[in-house]
Amino acid sequence: MSASQFGSRFVITSFGESHGTALGVVIDGCPAGVRFDSEILKKELERRRPGHHGSGQIVSGRQEADAPEVLSGVFEEKTLGTPIAIIVRNQDARSQDYKEIKNSPRAGHADDMWRNKFGHSDHRGGGRSSGRETVSRVMAGAVAQMLLKETSPKTRVMGYASQIGPFSLTPDERVQVPSKNIDSFQARFPSNRDVEVAELLKSAQESGDSYGGVAEILIENPPAYLGQPVFHKLKSDLAQAFLSVGATNGFELGLGFESAEVKGTEFHQGTQEAYGGIRGGISTGESILLKVSFKPTSSILDVAKKGRHDPCIVTRAIPVLEAMTWLVLADHWLWSKTDRI
Amino acid sequence: MSASQFGSRFVITSFGESHGTALGVVIDGCPAGVRFDSEILKKELERRRPGHHGSGQIVSGRQEADAPEVLSGVFEEKTLGTPIAIIVRNQDARSQDYKEIKNSPRAGHADDMWRNKFGHSDHRGGGRSSGRETVSRVMAGAVAQMLLKETSPKTRVMGYASQIGPFSLTPDERVQVPSKNIDSFQARFPSNRDVEVAELLKSAQESGDSYGGVAEILIENPPAYLGQPVFHKLKSDLAQAFLSVGATNGFELGLGFESAEVKGTEFHQGTQEAYGGIRGGISTGESILLKVSFKPTSSILDVAKKGRHDPCIVTRAIPVLEAMTWLVLADHWLWSKTDRI
Amino acid sequence: MSASQFGSRFVITSFGESHGTALGVVIDGCPAGVRFDSEILKKELERRRPGHHGSGQIVSGRQEADAPEVLSGVFEEKTLGTPIAIIVRNQDARSQDYKEIKNSPRAGHADDMWRNKFGHSDHRGGGRSSGRETVSRVMAGAVAQMLLKETSPKTRVMGYASQIGPFSLTPDERVQVPSKNIDSFQARFPSNRDVEVAELLKSAQESGDSYGGVAEILIENPPAYLGQPVFHKLKSDLAQAFLSVGATNGFELGLGFESAEVKGTEFHQGTQEAYGGIRGGISTGESILLKVSFKPTSSILDVAKKGRHDPCIVTRAIPVLEAMTWLVLADHWLWSKTDRI
Amino acid sequence: MSASQFGSRFVITSFGESHGTALGVVIDGCPAGVRFDSEILKKELERRRPGHHGSGQIVSGRQEADAPEVLSGVFEEKTLGTPIAIIVRNQDARSQDYKEIKNSPRAGHADDMWRNKFGHSDHRGGGRSSGRETVSRVMAGAVAQMLLKETSPKTRVMGYASQIGPFSLTPDERVQVPSKNIDSFQARFPSNRDVEVAELLKSAQESGDSYGGVAEILIENPPAYLGQPVFHKLKSDLAQAFLSVGATNGFELGLGFESAEVKGTEFHQGTQEAYGGIRGGISTGESILLKVSFKPTSSILDVAKKGRHDPCIVTRAIPVLEAMTWLVLADHWLWSKTDRI
């Protein structure tokens, strides 16, 4: 297992610096015969781009065309069973903005940690600690999605912001989430208070401030019996997947921390919501509900204002979390093929 | 990477069913020359045993001598650089108690999931989905601890319950945690309300009820610069490690979910506590604070009352979480040896 | 991938020193539902024991009962899908014989290499560099064989000595190999010159000399389409498997080195024998023929004469090579389950 | 471990079809701070190109510029400790030549095996079973070489043909190998009979025939104590590495199969040549001598004559075998850093 590698069966290797030549991913382990739907790939990359899911523009202004190029593993629109390599070239790399960062690392940012660890770093735009690295994850996740679309067509992965700074979804709003078009909300916060949230973020961006938040991932109709005891329970691989995303600092399955206060007799007579669709580390086939918390973005000091950063990372992180979810599902779906003879 | 394997450099493979012949672990990747301190091994196994850390008896009544036997990898009290295998035999396997479970799986329990997944399961006491599997983790964690004791002698891993059902540590109690002898508290809840907590749990046990809770792990003086970008950040490997423990359903680093409500300007001027000692996925060398939530124990129905289970799993899980922490630290300490030439 | 681990799907971890407490293996990745036939396990261990396959006694005199104990992963004579741990205790550990070796390493032997590498070694009987480590392989191979027996019942793995020192099988003897009971020949050399070979070895043992040799593995009716391009071709994993056995120094598939002299037009109009049943790294379903060469045993000097060693390792290595073959087949059989959707 | 991945510490993932968009490799695990010498990369790719090491033209006529593009992991001419991705675009992909192969697979070739295994294949030029895949290996090997150049500057890897069809090096020629400029010989056969060999091959090419051969790899001044017992001995990882190259069917360390005929007393009083520089699976620091046999090229039938193939693959395979050697050395050099505390 190497550092930029994820998965045990559907194995991806991510590469690329924020301001280097290109970002990319190699997927090794995708079976042959999967229909390769380029539209899914393009759509997911588009959804990851700043300000392109809704009408607003409350996120970092970096604009990359992000046109994916499939280098291998696909022929006549089907996967070959060989490694699938996909890259995106960096075009809009305003490294000028970041030059002065070289000697003045951003507070709370990964830059200085990486420099000390490796003794040498690409200081331009955070190098590989930049959020731009997630392009690779989104591309790999799109392929994982293609695999699941064929093998478990009813499975749906839906991410949304349930909290952005002081704003949280109300119980009523929550109930309606599955019927909403999340991307039609500027901050992917499915509420009619979405405009207020957008204004808060705009004002934070102007004043050099930022907010944390919470994203939720709802998996509807997941395949049942995914998860490998004991160290690759579905919940533990999902936790690793989500916590590998920058700025995350919390993970919950179902009730999560709230369950500490609930008596067992109440918890277990409760519905699937309490345990979140995973029991004994294995998917039951019921909906899986996951929550991920994000700290406020760190690029808030003077030097970085010129950098193009988000006042709240949650909105943009949602396609990334969805991608990580598809990857874990694809990995475990393949793994489950050898559970028994 | 196989299902019962954890770690990339300090690689452990856990094995054993709750009511099988033995539980054990093989550690492959521990360097040669580490002093093998059997006292650490025995002490940690003792700390994992029910009712043996304090004076009380508020946990499951199973009593195993849990005498570890080192089968390989150690010679003249030093590690050989070869695989270290350690086993513990099951002596007190009252499988009679569990016989009727065969056809009536416990609600919310892993038993029935495993049976459906694998088509065949060891129904006695949960087989490998039992908490008894954690014996293997504790033994491996003890060896990881031995490695760190020599290479990073100031590092200390300290686990405690910060919430048990309705009881939470007060801010004052929290501050005093590092100076407390956690094991002297019946429920490892370092508060003078410990007796009340113990009574609550006793009463829950009698009435067939249970509580969830929250455990915290404080790592003092961790080695700096541990963690491998991007999929093996220290936080992501810790999250995987903790969520692989049964009954867990939440993980937080530093402020965690609370940080969603904090403005960036406040968060980042804050101390190490906010971000929890890990930045960019890499340890800073400052204390690391982690939280893990547990759902209420599931064995609350009639059939299982005869089984010997805990009204709250948090207390017993603490040595297990500590072991997983040592394992992640040892793994990443070894990994960091090749960060640069 | 750790040092004592083999396989990508059917993953084994071997442990144990020659004169330590026990040797063992953990198999992680064996599917649930495989009938666990203890007789296969016992028989293969018996076949590995010195002097127990035929009537003679031309091998090292160490006598271990080698009673395997299954610690986990099997219930009601079926595999559980959980790790299968099997151990054998060391009873007859005449470490006295080896004491003087501590300061006088055996020429050409691994002892001194390991000591220098690890800075610390178990000098008794070669520690883990001893041939006794192969007990673990034979046990794991027996389980792999059980898996194949159910999923590919016609597959047969047959090992024999084709050369021992100056003696080689004649073309006629070769043709008759598949119909022979190999274990009925003292040196597993299927020829009526077997007695002469045995005498040669006996005399070599007395004079402190030794011989090399060649073992062949014939796989009849292997599953077709095993092998993963490009680094886990069936031939490359077999080569790794065989070269991981002590004293080996050569590997051939089909014609091997001889094919250097054959014109392409002749080679390819030839039968399966030329390419050995593997094309493009993938099994065709036809018989696979493999050869492994062994250097003369190294323990020939005075100090080691007291140690109990074989004048030719080939005979005893055959069950070990067969075990490695079953392991590779099981690993790739599982792997092939996800070649396509 | 995935199918197109090699190495445990210096981990490479190869990708790309012969007639697809590009070939490439990602190296994950190379430490930070290694000077990235583009000249080594270019030179090794050049050496791999047909007919470019000497003056002759006795190999397949495919002409690719093979200009490598480094996409990530390198900054200011030093490695960053992050994944290094390098690609080469396919320009000269005469897939027209191969169209008719779609329905008439080449005898003895991997094409039809892959098609049956995966149910779908890129029939153009062998897809990924083509020798062109080795571009990825050569690029990765160049980076491994850069790592060793800094950490073990005296280490030298030298490949040459020791046999091509009926021609073998004489003992005298063998002794002089280390002083020769191998690439100055048309067929990398370091003998004054090189011209005769070239003529034989030219005539074979014209008549649609081919020859097998033997390549040797001599490692001078390797780092000592590389190799991980028991399944990752240096010899077993080298065997896997070499046998993963197309058309190989044999491997020898030192005397190899010849040692079967040598008495132990002679073998062990012999020099390093007998055992080949590896003992107990671990490098001694002395020169390592390895041999690899190749079957005659398979593309000899009518349909493939139009394809551009070599009458003997050995000459071109030499830079590939050297690359695999550097990869194994880099992998094990990194691995050895954690042998002891």
**Residue whose structure tokens are 């039609």:** A184
Name the residue type at position A314: V
Q: What percent of chain C has pLDDT over 90?
A: 72
* Nearest Cα residue to A161 out of A148, A179, A174: A174
CA–chain centroid gap for C4, Å, is 15
Residue D78 touches partner B, C-beta closer than 8 Å: no
Compute the average pLDDT of residues D19-42.
Answer: 97
Q: What are the helix (H) ranges across B30-109?
A: 38-48, 95-98
Query: What is the Cα gyration radius of chain B?
Result: 20
Share above pLDDT 70 across residues of chain B, in percent, rounded to a whole number: 86
- What is the structure's pLDDT at B130? 84
Confidence of residue D129 (pLDDT cuts 50, 70, 90): confident
Cα–Cα dist B169/C113, whole Å: 56
Q: Is the pLDDT of residue A302 over 70?
A: no
Contact D112, D99 (CB under 8 A): no
Q: What is the mean pLDDT of residues A151-157?
A: 98
The answer on whether B283 is annotated among ligand-binding residues is: no
pLDDT of residue B248: 97
Is A268–B228 a contact, with Cβ atoms under 8 angstroms apart? Answer: no
| Angle subtended by helix axes D134-151 and D314-336, to nearest 10 | 50
| Closest CA relative to residue B254, chosen from B224, B217, B227, B228 | B217
Q: Report the distance separating Cα A290 and Cα D186, nearest Å.
A: 63
Q: Is A26 on the interface with C (CB under 8 A)?
A: no
Number of H helices, E strands in chain A: 11, 14
CA distances from B75 to A25, A158, B33, B37, C21 (A): 45, 54, 10, 12, 11
Average pLDDT, chain D: 89
Angle between helices A134-151 and A38-48 (to 10 degrees): 140
B1, B115, B251: best to mutate for the A interface, most A CBs within 10 A: B251
Do A80 and A211 contact (CB within 8 A), yes or no? no
A15/D4 CB distance under 8 A: no
pLDDT at C84 over 50: yes
pTM: predicted TM-score of the whole model, two decimal places: 0.95
* Integer Cα distance of A64 and B241 in angstroms: 36
Asked if B137 contacts B144 with a C-beta cutoff of 8 angstroms, the reply is no
pLDDT, tens digit, for every residue of D299-309? 544 444 444 56
Phi-psi region of A51 (alpha: psi -120 to 50; beta: other; left: phi over 0): left
Residue B2: list chain C partners with CB under 8 A: 11, 28-29, 83
Q: What's the whole-number mean pLDDT along residues A183-190? A: 96
Q: Percent of chain B beyond pLDDT 90? A: 72
Condensed to tens digits (0 to 9), the pLDDT of residues B139-173 reads 999 999 999 999 999 999 999 999 999 999 999 99
Report yes or no on D341 lying in a domain.
no
Q: Ranked by mean pLDDT, which of A196-210, A304-318, C296-310 comes out on top?
A: A196-210
Residue with tokens 């790999």: A140
Q: How far apart are CA D82 and CA A128, in angstroms?
A: 8
Q: Do residues C32 and C79 make contact, with C-beta atoms less than 8 angstroms apart?
A: yes
Q: Quote the minimal CA–CA distance from A76 to chain B in Å.
A: 32
Q: Under a CB-based contact definition with an 8 Å cutoff, are residues A289 and A218 in contact? A: yes
Q: Which of residues 214-243 of D touch C (CB under 8 A)?
A: 214, 224-225, 227-233, 235-243
pLDDT of residue C275: 85
Residue of higher predicted confidence among D267 and C172: C172
Evaluate whether residue D243 is within a structural domain: yes
Residue with the bigger pLDDT between B111 and D89: it is: D89
Q: What is the 3-state secondary structure (H, E, C) of chain D?
A: CCCCEECCCCEEEEECCCCCCEEEEEEECCCECCECCHHHHHHHHHHHCCCCCCCCCCCCCCCCCCCCEECCCEECCEECCCCEEEEEECCCCCHHHHHHHHHCCCCCCHHHHHHHHHCCCCCHHHCCCCHHHHHHHHHHHHHHHHHHHHHCCCCEEEEEEEEECCEECCHHHHHHHHHCCHHHCCCCCCCCCHHHHHHHHHHHHHCCCCECEEEEEEEECCCCCCCECCCECHHHHHHHHHHCCCCEEEEEECCHHHHHHCEHHHHHHCCHHHHCCEECCEECCCCEEEEEEECCCCCCCHHHHCCCCCCCCHHHHHHHHHHHHHHHHHHHHHHHCCCEC
Residues A9 and A128: beta-carbon distance below 8 Å: no
CATH number for the domain spanning B102: value is 3.60.150.10
Q: Which residues of C touch A32 (CB under 8 A)?
A: 339-341
Phi, psi of C225 (to 5 degrees): 70, 30
Query: How does the average pLDDT of chain C come out, rounded?
Result: 89
From the CA atom positions of chain C, what is the Rg in Å? 20
Confidence at B274, pLDDT banded by 50, 70, 90: confident
The confidence score (pLDDT) of residue D301 equals 47
What number of helices (H) and strands (E) belong to chain C? 11, 14
The whole-number average pLDDT for the span D192-203 is: 94
DSSP helix/strand/coil, C22 = strand
Among C16, C117, C122, select the one facing B75 at the smallest CB separation. C122
Contact C246 D280 (CB under 8 A): yes
Annotated binding site of A for NADP(+): 48
> Over 80: is that where the pLDDT of A10 sits?
yes
Closest approach of chain A CAs to the CA of B69, in angstroms?
Answer: 22
A95: Cβ contacts below 8 Å, ≥ 6 apart: A19, A124, A125
Containing A117, the helix (H) or strand (E) segment is helix A110-118
To the nearest whole Å, the CA of B82 is away from the closest chain C CA by: 7
**Residue at D177: amino acid letter:** V
A106 pLDDT tier (thresholds 50, 70, 90): low
What spatial distance separates the first Cα and last Cα of chain B, rounded to whole Å?
27
Spatial separation of the C-alpha atoms in residues C25 and B69, rounded to whole Å? 16
E strands along A122-242, which residues?
156-164, 167-168, 213-220
Specify if B341 maps to a domain.
no
Is B71–C128 a contact, with Cβ atoms under 8 angstroms apart?
Answer: no
Kindly state the percentage of chain D with pLDDT values over 70.
86
What does the alpha-carbon distance between residue A23 and residue A62 come to, in Å, rounded to a whole number? 15
Kindly state whether D29 is in contact with chain B, defined as any CB-CB distance less than 8 angstroms.
yes
* Cβ within 8 Å, pair C32-A147: no
**More confident call, D100 vs B293:** B293
* pLDDT tens digits, one per residue of A41-97: 999 999 998 765 554 445 555 555 789 999 999 999 999 999 999 999 997 654 545
Taking alpha carbons only, the member of A282, A289, A285, A307 closest to residue A297 is A307
- Within 8 A of C114 by CB-CB distance, chain D residues are 229, 280, 282
Could you tell me the pLDDT band of residue B50, with boundaries at 50, 70 and 90?
confident
- Among chain D residues, the shortest Cα distance to B151 is held by D341
pLDDT tens-place string over residues D249-302: 999 999 999 998 888 888 877 666 788 899 999 999 999 999 999 999 875 444
Rg (C-alpha) for chain D, rounded Å, is: 20
D176 within a domain of the structure (yes/no): yes
Q: How far is C128 from A125, CA to CA, in rounded Å?
A: 50
The lowest-confidence range among A61-70, D133-142, D173-182 is: A61-70
Partner-chain residue, chosen from D72, D84, D127, that has the shortest CB–CB distance to A22: D72
Instruction: Round to whole Å and give the CA distance between B128 and C73.
Output: 9
Give the model's confidence band at B326: pLDDT under 50 very low, under 70 low, under 90 confident, else very high. very high
Q: Which of B135-149, D33-47, D98-112, D223-237 has the lowest mean pLDDT?
A: D98-112
Stretch 295-324 of chain B: residues touching chain A, C-beta under 8 Å: 295-298, 300, 311
Q: Find the helix or strand (DSSP H, E) in which C242 lies.
A: helix C234-243
Q: Which of C48, C36, C41 is nearest to C133 (CA)?
A: C48
Residue pair C10/C73 in contact by the 8 Å Cβ criterion:
no
pLDDT over 90 (residue B54): no
Choose the weakest-confidence range: A303-312, C10-19, D138-147: A303-312
For chain A, the C-alpha Rg in angstroms (whole number) is: 20
pLDDT of residue B325: 98
Interchain contact, D210 vs C249, CB within 8 Å: no
Nearest-angstrom CA–CA distance, A188 and A161: 6
Instruction: Identify the sign of the CA torsion B227, B233, B237, B238.
Output: positive
Extract the tokens encoding C29. 């990745």
The chains found to touch D (3+ Cβ pairs under 8 angstroms) are: A, B, C
CB-CB: which of A28, A81, A85 is closest to D5?
A28
Per the DSSP assignment, residues forming a β-bridge with A90 are none
- Concatenate the DSSP letters of all residues of A259-301 into one string: GGGSBHHHHHHS-HHHHTTEETTEE-SS-EEEEEEEPPPS--S
Residue of D nearest to C285 (CA): D113
Q: Report yes or no on A341 lying in a domain.
A: no
Q: Which amino acid is at C310?
A: D
Task: Give the confidence band of D193 by pLDDT, cuts at 50, 70, 90.
Answer: very high
Give the side-chain half-sphere CA count within 13 A for D20: 34
pLDDT in tens, A235-252: 999 999 999 999 999 999
- Whether C330 shows a pLDDT value over 90: the answer reads yes
B264 belongs to an annotated ligand binding site = no
pLDDT band at A208 (very low <50, low <70, confident <90, very high): confident
Give the chain D residue nearest C233 (alpha carbons): D244
Task: Residue C129: list chain D partners with CB under 8 A.
Answer: 229, 280-281
The vertex-B318 CA angle with B197 and B288, nearest 5°, equals 110
Nearest CA in chain B to A283: B113
Q: Is D151 on the interface with B (CB under 8 A)?
A: yes
More confident residue, D326 or B301: D326
**What DSSP letter does each residue of C82-148 carry, written as one string?**
S-EEEEEE-----HHHHGGGGGSPPTT-HHHHHHHHHS----GGGTTSSGGGHHHHHHHHHHHHHHH
- Number of domains comprising chain B: 1
pLDDT band, very low/low/confident/very high, at A127 (cuts 50, 70, 90): confident
Name the pairing type of β-strands A167-168 and A156-164: antiparallel
DSSP at B31? P
Burial category of D81 from C-beta neighbours within 10 Å (exposed 0-12, middle 13-18, buried 19 and up): buried
Residues 6 or more apart whose CB falls under 8 angstroms from that of A244 comprise A6, A324, B230, B231, B232, B233, B236, B281
Distance spanning both ends of chain D, measured CA to CA: 27
Domain range spanning residue B242?
A: 5-336
Residue of chain A nearest B207, judged by CA positions:
A265
